[in-house]
Amino acid sequence: MKFGVIRFPGSCDDVDALVAARRVGEAELLWHGDRDLRGADAIIVPGGFSYGDYLRAGAIARFAPVMEEVERFARDGGLVLGICNGFQVLCELGLLPGALLPNTNLKFTCRQLELEVVNAGTSWTSAASEGDVLSIPAKHMTGRFWAPDHVLDEVNVVLRYAAGSNFNGSSRDIAGVANEAGNVVGLMPHPEHAVEPLTGSADGLKLFLSAARVPV
């Protein structure tokens, strides 16, 4: 399994995502301006502030040349994970439903959270079990997941904030969603920052392990 991690101007979690992916497979960085996924089997759109988050988080990054390829790759069933800013980019791109709005507390918040696995049937959660509680940090100011009620009724929820963890005000405690097929997943918390017990938790590795066991 070879992971490709996109690097935009303003990405800041690309190297952590690269290091996390290398625990379960090969991984390399992909430049935002290249229309080339370099044969990657799975794509990670990492956290940060792509293009300075100008206008709206993810609004400009979704038009990056590399994202045209990512969109095609995803629609052909390729594995794509959007983390934090990457989740915002995938929503702006329309690969995932909904949008991310400013946290209700209007603060940039960084804290360890508990996330409940709601759907272990996606390409990025198959190494977990439904009902598992993962300890993973989040750090963002624009992470309130929102969609109209009719979309929320249908959306493929993958992860929910456990009681006391929904600090950003997300609708229905939704922390992560997938497309219908489950090959594209986005979440606000950072699994790549939770791959080593020494720094608090290795629960985030489950997402990378899930992708690594998808046959290529």
Partner 1 sequence: MKVTVLIRPKEGILDPQGQAVERALPALGFEGVSRVHVGRLVELDVPDASRVPEMCERLLANPLIESYEIQQ
Residues lying near partner 1 in the complex (CB under 8 A) are found at 55-56, 59-60, 63, 92, 98-99, 101-106, 144, 146-148, 169
Report the residue number, 60 or 174, with the smaller CB distance to partner 1: 60
Q: Is 190 a catalytic residue?
A: yes
Least Cβ distance, residue 57 to partner 1 (angstroms): 10
Report the residue number, 25 or 169, with the smaller CB distance to partner 1: 169
Phi first, then psi: give them for residue 98, nearest 5 degrees.
90, -170
Report the residue number, 52 or 148, with the smaller CB distance to partner 1: 148
Catalytic residue among 69, 71, 92, 192: 192
- The number of angstroms, rounded, from the C-alpha of 161 to the middle of its chain's C-alpha atoms is 15
Q: Within 10 A of 10 (CB to CB), how many other CB atoms are there?
A: 16
Report the residue number, 77 or 148, with the smaller CB distance to partner 1: 148
Least Cβ distance, residue 102 to partner 1 (angstroms): 6
Phi first, then psi: give them for residue 117, nearest 5 degrees.
-75, 120
Least Cβ distance, residue 147 to partner 1 (angstroms): 8
Least Cβ distance, residue 101 to partner 1 (angstroms): 6
Report the residue number, 56 or 75, with the smaller CB distance to partner 1: 56
- Kindly tell me the burial class for residue 39, based on how many C-beta atoms sit within 10 Å of its own C-beta (0-12, 13-18, 19 or more): exposed
Q: What is the DSSP string of 39-84?
A: T-SEEEE--B-GGGG-SSTTTTGGGSHHHHHHHHHHHTT-EEEEET
Tokens encoding 187: 């979440």
Catalytic residue among 69, 71, 116, 190: 190
Least Cβ distance, residue 104 to partner 1 (angstroms): 5
3-state class (DSSP) for residue 26: strand
Q: Annotate 161-192 with b (16+ C-beta within 10 A) or e (fewer).
A: bbeebbbbebbebbbbbbbeebbbbbbbbbbb
Catalytic residue among 84, 91, 92, 116: 84
Q: Is 12 a catalytic residue?
A: no
Tell me the torsion sign for CA atoms 48, 52, 56, 62. negative
Instruction: Provide the annotated active-site residues.
Output: 84, 190, 192
